[in-house]
Amino acid sequence: MTLKLYDTYTRKIRDFKSIQKNKITMYNCGPTVYDFVHIGNYRTYLMADFIRRTFEYFNYDVKQIKNITDVGHLTQDDIEAGEDKMLKAARRENKSPYDIARFYENIFLADEKKLNILPAYKFTRATEYINEMIAMIEKLIEKDYAYESNGNVFFAVGKFENYGKLSGNTLENLKTGSRLEAHPDKRDSHDFALWLKASPDHLMQWDSPWSKGYPGWHIECSAMSTANLGNTIDIHTGGEDNIFPHHEDEIAQSEGATGKKFVNYWLHGRHLLVDGKKMSKSKGNFYKLSDIEKKGLEPLSFRYLCLTTHFQSQLNFTWQSLEASQSALNKLFEFVRSAKEKRGKIIKEYEAKFNNALENNLDTPRALAITWEMIKSKNHSIGDKKITLLKFDDFFGFDLNTATIEDEIPAEIERLTEQRNEARKNKDWSMSDKLRAEIESKGFILKDTTENTTVKPK
Ligand SMILES: [Zn+2]
């Protein structure tokens, strides 16, 4: 198996090689839990799930960390508004920031479950890694990558040689025309915060060697990744909006502190658009998973929709495309439900094509197309197609096998059918007829073909 993946850092499709044989370490930038997570974010988490399932499909062990940012982090807009988002939410909803964070975290976890996103090995909360962040900041000061000023600590971007390699935003490029984050204690306007001194009414603050304060956003992910997965990891994921500054800054911090390469493959998902436009609350095209459910569609229809477009291309969400996905998904369930055969073998020809699609930078649209081609093909038995589809579903993650649970064939009927097959093989026709009568008297129909016998409820 040669898996090829497009890596943002090298801007190339590269053969994948894991650090340890058949093992993967993967870090996913997770949600900031001061508000509902929208479907654009879920597209990014589905991408991480598709990556994980691909490796598991090819028999790798995946150790996956997904963080929960429960410390509000500052953005340009917040700085201008003079308040961070978690605190704003706490004030708006009259709760403590911890209450707010747990409330949205629980909704997030329930949503992921509805989307059949496999739970991470660990969901790391930023507030539980403050000590690790402080230790990393101390190391960065010691190595002269960071400086303290008035109780704040900043990363000196100019000291890190590879700054800008991921995003193309080298210091030189940045100097020509980007918006600057003004802060009176910064030596250079492009330096970014590792630790910020809190004002006395700031609701979340911790002791540190520099001030009572709180961490910058980027240091959270560097500290949590290193603490759980070691200095160098195989894969780091996020949305394309994370590339700069978040991931650029993570590289600077982690590599500055450890002196080791931080990430071998950077995988970024592109945006989801709604009716061709960027999602925003003010435009009224900002959707949560519950909005999908309110329309009578299943969350898994969104999972299907995300598979129809490669994660490194923009996905245009429309209600029409979601309805089409729901209908395709229903057909897959219907196929499994109506195929009563229990036995079958994986169709090698289609398995090879399917594996090839996944190996080719996770070509999920092609994997779906191959699946439909296989289902419609006339050259294979229903039983073989069903078994092959269920194997593919280890990757798709629709849990198609649940379709058969409702009308399972009872063990007794299975046994009688087995005995009858044996009798037929031995050309014991009177026994075969006797068993047929018995099975039919219990409400099941047998259908003999040249290859096998199927049984289903009348
Ligand atoms: Zn992150």
Distance 67 CA to ligand 1 centre (A): 7
Give domain status of residue 311, yes or no: yes
| Residue at which a domain ends, from 239, 269, 299 | 269
List the chain pLDDT tens, one digit each, 458 residues.
799 999 999 999 999 999 999 999 999 999 999 888 999 999 999 999 999 999 999 999 999 999 999 987 655 445 445 567 777 788 788 888 888 899 999 999 999 999 999 999 999 999 999 999 999 999 999 999 999 999 999 999 999 999 999 999 888 777 765 555 568 899 998 999 999 999 887 888 999 999 999 999 899 999 999 999 999 999 999 999 999 999 999 999 999 999 999 999 999 999 999 999 988 777 788 899 999 999 999 999 999 999 999 999 999 999 999 999 999 999 999 999 999 887 899 999 999 999 999 999 999 999 999 999 999 999 999 999 999 999 999 999 999 998 875 556 788 888 898 889 888 888 898 999 999 999 988 888 887 766 567 777 77
Question: pTM, whole model, 2 decimals?
Answer: 0.86
Distance 266 CA to ligand 1 centre (A): 12
Same domain, 39 and 180: yes
Distance 183 CA to ligand 1 centre (A): 23
Same domain, 71 and 204: yes
pLDDT value, residue 303: 98
Give domain status of residue 282, yes or no: no
Distance 27 CA to ligand 1 centre (A): 8
Give domain status of residue 283, yes or no: no
Same domain, 440 and 329: no
Distance 250 CA to ligand 1 centre (A): 8
Give domain status of residue 284, yes or no: no
Give domain status of residue 275, yes or no: no
Same domain, 248 and 102: yes
pLDDT value, residue 56: 98
Distance 112 CA to ligand 1 centre (A): 18
In whole angstroms, give the CA distance from residue 34 to residue 446.
58
Distance 361 CA to ligand 1 centre (A): 23
Residue-number span of the structural domain to which 76 is assigned: 4-269
Same domain, 426 and 354: no
Same domain, 64 and 197: yes
Distance 386 CA to ligand 1 centre (A): 40
Distance 220 CA to ligand 1 centre (A): 7
Structure token pair of residue 30: 């997770």
Distance 295 CA to ligand 1 centre (A): 32
Give domain status of residue 318, yes or no: yes
Same domain, 58 and 161: yes
Distance 414 CA to ligand 1 centre (A): 52
In whole angstroms, give the CA distance from residue 268 to residue 6.
9
In whole angstroms, give the CA distance from residue 370 to residue 384.
15
Distance 247 CA to ligand 1 centre (A): 7
Rounded to an integer, what is the distance from CA 409 to the centroid of its chain? 35
Check: CB of residue 25 under 8 Å from CB of residue 288. no
Distance 69 CA to ligand 1 centre (A): 8
Same domain, 143 and 55: yes
- Domain with residue 146: its CATH number is 3.40.50.620
| In the block, residue with structure tokens 């004030």 | 91
Check: CB of residue 24 under 8 Å from CB of residue 62. yes
Distance 218 CA to ligand 1 centre (A): 6
Helix axes 319-338, 382-396, angle to 10 degrees: 140
Same domain, 55 and 77: yes
Percent of residues in the chain assigned helix, strand, coil, to nearest 5: 50, 20, 35
Among 32, 53, 54, 98, residue whose Cα is nearest residue 241: 32
Distance 51 CA to ligand 1 centre (A): 17
Distance 2 CA to ligand 1 centre (A): 28
Distance 237 CA to ligand 1 centre (A): 8
Same domain, 389 and 355: yes
Number of folded domains in the chain? Answer: 3
Same domain, 261 and 300: no
Check: CB of residue 23 under 8 Å from CB of residue 61. yes
Distance 359 CA to ligand 1 centre (A): 26
pLDDT value, residue 22: 96
Distance 236 CA to ligand 1 centre (A): 9
In whole angstroms, give the CA distance from residue 34 to residue 73.
10
Give domain status of residue 277, yes or no: no
| Residue at which a domain ends, from 241, 269, 297 | 269
Same domain, 367 and 330: yes
- Domain with residue 384: its CATH number is 1.20.120.1910
DSSP 284: T
Give domain status of residue 449, yes or no: yes
pLDDT value, residue 451: 59
